């Protein structure tokens, strides 16, 4: 082999060696996603046939609660020329619409309108395990949590596991900001028998957010919710093992956030423990604007020994017996 040909061969070998790790990383997140709707699930299919939609943080939303106000976009005060969702303007538009029948009793415009949008969760196979800071004295402007993607369900029959940290004006307000880790089906994103992450804004019956990107068991996830001086809220999510999964979504909202929480939420899973995800720990948490401590809450069905363990102000665990 000539010196020139040897150099060419050596360069080609080094190129393959350098690119190989990246190819392996990409292939690890290129798993085939099963279409959840091809798998029969009586509870889920009954809801979908009746026109319901499933979103994290609010559960099954009935048809008459969906799309109650059209999206309005305004210029991002931090980035001239960029248009972002303007929740303040959407609320005001709803108040002026013929559909609005707001009874002003609180003296707070936002509170009066939110009172019209208490979501009713109408699913028997629904469970919420939550640790929350819920106090009218809170004025949350920042919340951060890390967690590792739990072990995926051992059996998949079309059910849903949601994991997220979140902020909202108050429970049942109809507005919730959340970075989401999801296994299974939702009306925003169908992950099938797989994990995905995405930033999500739910407002008055509609969901807005970023792309759904694959995640794997054990991946380290970080979710951040933050408000700046211009009342721009940004919901961001990062997967440290999958750079493609770093995403964020910003909106304009000036109302007060009284509640922050971390949660494990399941839907359309019967009492079969193998359909439930593994244990999860929210860690290295930090909150700005809170005046109270974490408190455990449970709503809906409880099975497989699911429990909430508040370790400290920075760590909350959700455990089960699967």
For each of the chain's 322 residues, which pLDDT tens digit applies? 444 443 334 333 333 333 333 333 334 444 545 688 999 999 999 999 999 999 999 999 999 999 988 999 999 999 999 999 999 999 998 878 755 454 444 444 444 444 443 333 444 477 888 899 998 899 999 999 999 999 999 999 999 999 999 999 988 888 999 999 999 999 999 999 999 999 999 999 999 999 999 999 999 999 999 999 999 999 999 999 998 889 999 999 999 999 999 999 999 987 778 899 999 999 999 999 999 999 998 765 666 778 899 999 999 999 886 6
| Torsion angle (degrees, nearest 10) of CA 114, 119, 120, 124 | -150
CATH code of the domain containing 172: 2.60.120
Q: Is the residue at 178 inside a domain?
A: yes
- Number of domains comprising the chain: 1
User: Could you tell me the residue range of the domain that residue 228 belongs to?
Assistant: 36-65+115-123+136-259
CA–CA separation, 188 vs 51, rounded Å? 14
Phi, psi of 245, deg, nearest 5: -90, 5
Q: Is the residue at 234 inside a domain?
A: yes
Q: Is the residue at 251 inside a domain?
A: yes
Q: Is the residue at 106 inside a domain?
A: no
Residue 270's nearest CA partner among 149, 129, 158 is 158
Q: Is the residue at 230 inside a domain?
A: yes
CA–CA separation, 27 vs 222, rounded Å? 22
Q: Is the residue at 24 inside a domain?
A: no
**Is the full-model pTM beyond 0.95?**
no
Q: Is the residue at 17 inside a domain?
A: no
Q: Is the residue at 269 inside a domain?
A: no
3-state secondary structure the chain: CCHHHHHHHHHHHHHHHHHHHHHHHHHHCCCCCCCHHHCCCHHHHHHHHCCCEEECCCEEECHHHCCCCCCCEEECCCCCCCEEEEHHHHHHHHHHCCCCCCCCCCCCHHHHHHHHHCCCCCCCCEEEEEEEEECCCCCCCEEEEEEECCCCCCCCCCCEEEEEEEEECCCCCCEEEEEEEEEEECCCCEEEEEEEEEEEEEECCEEEECCCEEECCCCEEEEEEEECCCCEEEEEEEECCCHHHCEEEEEECCCCCCEEEEEEEEECCCCCHHHCCCCEEEEEEEEECCCCCCEEEEEECCCCCCEEEEEECCEEEEECCC
């Amino acid at each position: 082999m000539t010196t020139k040909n040897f150099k060419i061969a050596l360069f080609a070998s080094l190129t393959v060696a350098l690119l190989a790790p990246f190819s392996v990383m990409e292939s690890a997140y290129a798993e085939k996603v099963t279409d959840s709707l091809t798998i029969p699930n009586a509870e889920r299919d009954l809801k979908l046939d009746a026109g319901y939609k499933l979103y994290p943080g609010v559960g099954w939303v009935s048809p008459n609660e969906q799309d109650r106000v059209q999206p309005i976009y305004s210029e991002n005060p931090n980035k001239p020329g960029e248009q972002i969702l303007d929740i303040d303007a959407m609320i005001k538009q709803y108040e002026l619409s013929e559909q609005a029948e707001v009874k002003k009793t609180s003296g707070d415009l936002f509170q009066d309108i939110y009172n019209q949008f208490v979501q009713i969760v109408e699913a028997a196979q629904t469970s919420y395990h939550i640790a929350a800071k819920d106090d009218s004295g809170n004025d949350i402007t920042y919340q951060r949590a890390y967690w590792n993607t739990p072990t995926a369900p051992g059996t998949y029959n079309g059910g849903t596991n949601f994991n997220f940290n979140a902020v909202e004006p108050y429970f049942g307000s109809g507005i919730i900001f959340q970075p989401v880790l999801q296994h299974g089906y939702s009306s925003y994103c169908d992950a099938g028998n797989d994990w995905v992450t995405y930033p999500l804004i739910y407002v008055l019956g509609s969901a807005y957010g970023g792309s759904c990107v694959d995640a794997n068991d054990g991946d380290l996830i970080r979710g951040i919710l933050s408000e700046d001086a211009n009342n721009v809220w940004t919901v961001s999510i990062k997967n440290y093992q999958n750079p493609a999964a770093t995403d964020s979504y910003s909106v304009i909202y000036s109302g007060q956030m009284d509640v922050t929480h971390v949660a494990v939420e399941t839907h359309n899973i019967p009492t079969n423990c193998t359909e439930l995800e593994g244990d999860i720990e929210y860690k290295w948490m930090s909150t700005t604007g809170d005046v109270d401590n974490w408190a455990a809450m449970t709503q809906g069905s409880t099975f497989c020994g699911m429990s909430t363990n508040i370790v400290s102000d920075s760590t909350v665990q959700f455990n089960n017996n699967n």
